Amino acid sequence: MDLSSQPDGMKYLIVVGVVLVTYFLVRRIVLPIFQRIAHRTKVTWDDVLADPGLLRRLSWVLPPITAWVTIPLLGFEGTTIDRITTALLIISAMVALSAILRAANEYYLLYAPTSDRPIKGYLQVVMIIGLIFGAILTIATLSGAELGGVLTGLGAVTAVLILVFQSTILSIVASLQLAGNDMVRLGDWIEVPGTRVDGDVIDVALHTVKVQNWDKTIATIPTHDLVTSSFVNWRGMSESGGRRIKRSLTIDQTSVRFLSTEEIDRWMAFEPIAEYMEVKRDELAGQTPAADGLEGDPRRLTNLGTFRAYAEAYLRRRSDLQQDQFTKMVRQLPPGPDGVAIELYVFTATTDWVEYEGIQADIFDHLLAMLPEFDLTLFQHPTGTDVRAAGSLGR
């Protein structure tokens, strides 16, 4: 039967009928069968393909294909309906490409061993290139112009296009730099100075990076800002297995004094610092004695130095602190108007936030409680209670 000899009205009905039948067969029969088969197999990749949203977008391609194949048989080649059908085929192919790339990203996040390194930016670059190419083909098809002529016309407005898509171009470059240099991964804790961005990365896209802050708010920052400005990535801390404690105790300088002989004997019997006391005693014994009656005898130990030695010994005994390959020290900072600070610089053996805070609190609770044993006083500014107490003494 020669379909091209049929009246135009009949030809149009044939095209519409073929499209509708194809759409019905795909949506009502083919897709449900494919979904049932995919869910019964043991492999995982076909479960992503069986997603209803993906299949629905893929099904939009088949009706234009059947129409595009049928049109030459009806003698519609080169006509307006032929160009419209071809354009619809290109558009549906772009929709299908978008769905496939989205499914590829979903599969990567679920099953890839390196899923913490996002590929969403790369896929979006591919999508943009595909959309640009599809738009050019659609324009050339609908206008009936040669592809070379359309490209020549676009070349004349290149400067305008660059200006319009400037942010997209910057985002493409930034996204490639972030991924290529492994600057940001999903799950990284990042902090951007001068902004409210301080939390875990939950999405890395072409134009934006989404961060879930610690207060559960979502912050969005342009991708190119992470390349052009500085930010802090705490991944190194997480991978090292240790988290730093850097906090100080401010000692009232008026409470610093030399140890008496009785105190030295008492601390010599205290096992945690007995070795330190013995070493210091032998060390100071070899020094030249001071003149008689001189209070500042260099051979005398201080309560502050002994407390610092105790703090070091206490940290060495804690199993929840990193003892090897990490800096661990107790140092004295320069004296100031708020007293003299004894700073602890040590790393915990865990990076968990809750455990870290608990370890830090335990350490300082203990050291604060030990200060009176060394006859040391913690410095603090006068409070209302102190002022009232001073006033009552003056009456």
One-letter amino acid of 57: R
Most confident of 2-11, 177-186, 357-366: 357-366
Comparing CA positions, the residue from 251, 250, 367 lying closest to residue 302 is 251
Q: What is the pLDDT of residue 231?
A: 93
pLDDT value for 306: 93
Mean pLDDT is highest, among 2-11, 49-58, 173-182, 310-319, for 310-319
pLDDT tens per residue, range 248-281? 999 999 999 998 888 888 888 888 888 888 888 7
Mean pLDDT taken over the chain: 83
Query: So what's the pLDDT on residue 115?
Result: 63
Annotate the chain with three-state secondary structure: CCHHHCCHHHHHHHHHHHHHHHHHHHHHHHHHHHHHHHHHCCCCHHHHHCCHHHHHHHHCCHHHHHHHHHHHHCCCCCCHHHHHHHHHHHHHHHHHHHHHHHHHHHHHHHHCCCCCCCCHHHHHHHHHHHHHHHHHHHHHHHHCCCHHHHHHHHHHCHHHHHHHCHHHHHHHHHHHHHHHCCCCCCCCEEECCCCCCEEEEEEECCCEEEEEECCCCEEEEEHHHHHHCCCEECHHHHHHCCEEEEEEEEECHHHCCECCHHHHHHHHCCHHHHHHHHHHHHHHHCCCCCCCCCCCCCCCCEHHHHHHHHHHHHHHCCCCECCCCCCCEEEECCCECCEEEEEEEEEECCCCHHHHHHHHHHHHHHHHHHHHHHCCCECCCCCHHHHHHHHHHCC
Indicate the pLDDT class of residue 191, thresholds 50, 70 and 90: very high
Domains parsed from the chain with CATH numbers: 3-156 (no CATH), 189-239 (2.30.30), 241-287+297-374 (no CATH)
Please tell me the predicted confidence (pLDDT) of residue 60. 81
pLDDT of residue 166: 79
pLDDT score, position 27: 79
The values of phi and psi at residue 235, to 5°, are -60, -40
Q: pTM of whole model > 0.75?
A: no
Question: What percent of the chain is modeled with pLDDT above 90?
Answer: 31
Q: Residue 367's pLDDT is what?
A: 96
* CB of 277 closer than 8 Å to CB of 264: yes
Q: Which pLDDT band, with edges at 50, 70 and 90, does 371 fall under?
A: very high
pLDDT value at residue 389: 64
